Structure 1
Amino acid sequence: MKTKFTALAAFALLLIPFISNAQKTELREDRYLLDSLYIEETEDKTPAKVLHAEPLYIDLIRDLGARKGEKEWNVGFGLNDNTDYDRIEALVEYEWAPINRLGLEIEVPFSFYSGNPNGMEAVPANRMESLKLAAQYSFFVSEKAKTSLAIGYIHEFEMTPFENYGKESFFTANVYNPFFVAAKRWGQNFHTLIYTGPVIEQPFHENEIHTEWQINTNFHYMIPGTRNFLGVELNKEVDHGDFDMTIRPQMRLGITDDLMIGIVTGIPVSRERQRLSTFLRLIWEP
């Protein structure tokens, strides 16, 4: 059904330059109907759930208003261009909803580095970054207001670099990340979302605890009658008065009924030694 909606919407967009005003009016009505059918496909079930566009770089644990039995695999690849080295990131994650409105997730991220060892910054060691365990509960879902609210928690067990396996402790720190999510759909196609909370790192062999705040705001436009969207993430960090922001334009494309691809570009605004980055996310909903 979703593939049929996508094909119809794409065909309708191609015809726009060649049709009359009356036909354009009829086409707009057809696109509105496609939107309504797609939204109904998501929302015309129990319990209540609102269709929201989910950010692609810092994504949610599960759809807001998740329904029991939903599940999803994600595989991500990224390239970050820093002044003195490049970072290749990869991740594998699995998320599912054991009960209505509760999402759980397991994620394993990796980082691989290459660059000039004599640069101003030391080249970090390759590593499996951490083991991430997360939960998210949607405590407010209103189809009438097209709004969803959720709270969640991510716990990371940070790991030592590959080169130190067998030489020091496998886990090196705990990271605590409670967060809050608020999302609203405006009309049929425009979506906004805010994701915010502290990230608290506690190394095992140090007494000092490091805290920073993440404030991520998101704006998306969903293509009529499809799961495809265009949008932007504004990923902001506040660390002891130091403010950094990365702008991440992005798009999501449906390939089949159960497979999507997300493409993200990162543009740092105030990071002195970071340059452009790219990120690719494959999303499979079995």
Structure 2
Amino acid sequence: MSIFILTFTLYTRAQTDSNSLIDHKEENELPPKVLHAEPLYIDLIRDLGARKGEKEWNLGLGLTDNLNFDSYEALIEYEWAPADRLGLEVELPFTFYTPVGDAPREAVPSNRLNSIKIAGQWSFLVNEPMGMSMAIGYINEFELSTFREFAQPFITGNVYNPFLVVAKRWGSNFHSLVYTGPMIAQEFSTNEFHTTYDINTSIHYMISGTRNFIGVEFNKTLASHDFDMTIRPQMRVGIVDNLMIGIIAGIPVSRENERFSSFLRLIWEPKHK
């Protein structure tokens, strides 16, 4: 608990909340936007109700404890809004592996740039009186070969991922969000398709007058004859005016090979007009 108290004291400068967003809109004739707490692990392509010119850089680092090896995640992500309510994103996710104990090397996957992700998201509903926003989007993921077999071939498959987002702000502090959709993976060498369905839900408490929050994500994946869920407690805190850090822990509920995990996300929002 002392860690949470110490971290939240790092940033006390007031940030924009939904009420000031409304005032700002009236002064500058900006389109409406509701401030929602965005989950930190399965994050959105751009803020719901994004305004033209917004942009954001993300750097992520994570560690997952598996039975035979540890995996280290790293990602770089850029998202921007070329038009009101439209968000676009490009992401490069990496994974590196190290064996655990006496695990044989052949049991450890090869390091890799997992894929090249490109995505778009359109907020088709922004309702300030109800504190609600809704969006649809699509992520296309070009899966790449491992470093051990790099470029043999270069692109090994494709993942098609349409999704729906529904977010609701409950009063001044509580936020809930549902992010859901199928992931259809195509393996080019065999032309086989494998489909899973993700249901990611989250609830957060945002500190009044700031964008700092604490909350939890429930990341659920359904496949044929299988169900996986990871609970991810998390917090976000501002460091300076346009720089935030997100801290996430991962607690698997029904994963056979995965243990605890942690993830750190650094969020930088360059100023825009």
State TM-score, norm by structure 1: 0.86
Aligned match for 2:189, one of 188, 191, 205 = 205
Which stretches of structure 1, 4 residues or more, deviate above 3 A after TM superposition?
116-121
Identify the residue that residue 7 of structure 1 maps to in structure 2: 12
Q: Once superposed, what is the RMSD of the aligned Cα atoms?
A: 2.0
Identify the residue that residue 22 of structure 2 maps to in structure 1: 43
Deviation, 1:273, is 1.3
Output one character per residue of 1:23-56: Cα deviation in whole Å (capped at 9) or x when no partner.
Answer: xxxxxxxxxxx79x73233333121110100000
Identify the residue that residue 133 of structure 1 maps to in structure 2: 118
Output one character per residue of 1:83-136: Cα deviation in whole Å (capped at 9) or x when no partner.
Answer: 110000000000000000000000000000011574698211000000000000
Give matches, 1:107-256, under 5 Å: 107-116=91-100, 118=103, 122-166=107-151, 168-256=152-240
Aligned match for 1:282, one of 254, 258, 266 = 266
Say whether the 8 Å CA contact 1:193–1:219 is kept in structure 2: yes
Identify the residue that residue 19 of structure 1 maps to in structure 2: none
SS state at 2:12 partner: helix
Could you tell me how far apart the structure 2 residues matched to 1:41 and 1:115 are?
Answer: 51
Name the amino acid aligned to 2:65. D
Give matches, 1:83-122, under 5 Å: 83-116=67-100, 118=103, 122=107
Matched, 1:78 2:90: no
Distance 1:171 1:269, change over 3 A: same
Could you tell me how far apart the structure 2 residues matched to 1:59 and 1:264 are?
Answer: 12
SS state at 1:43 partner: helix
Distance 1:120 1:211, change over 3 A: farther
Could you tell me how far apart the structure 2 residues matched to 1:160 and 1:262 are?
Answer: 30
Matched, 1:64 2:69: no
Q: Name the one with the larger helix percent.
A: 1
Question: What is the count of residue pairs matched by the alignment?
Answer: 256
Could you tell me how far apart the structure 1 residues matched to 2:107 and 2:57 are?
Answer: 34
Output one character per residue of 1:120-163: Cα deviation in whole Å (capped at 9) or x when no partner.
Answer: 98211000000000000000010011000000000000000112
Name which of structure 1's ranges 239-248 and 100-109 shifts more when overlaid on structure 2.
Answer: 239-248
Name the amino acid aligned to 2:149. N
Say whether the 8 Å CA contact 1:150–1:181 is kept in structure 2: yes
Could you tell me how far apart the structure 2 residues matched to 1:86 and 1:250 are?
Answer: 21
SS state at 1:75 partner: strand
SS state at 2:19 partner: helix
Q: Which runs of 5+ in 1 are unaligned?
A: 1-5, 9-33
Q: Which runs of 5+ in 2 are unaligned?
A: 1-10
State TM-score, norm by structure 2: 0.90
Could you tell me how far apart the structure 2 residues matched to 1:115 and 1:237 are?
Answer: 26
Identity level (%): 63
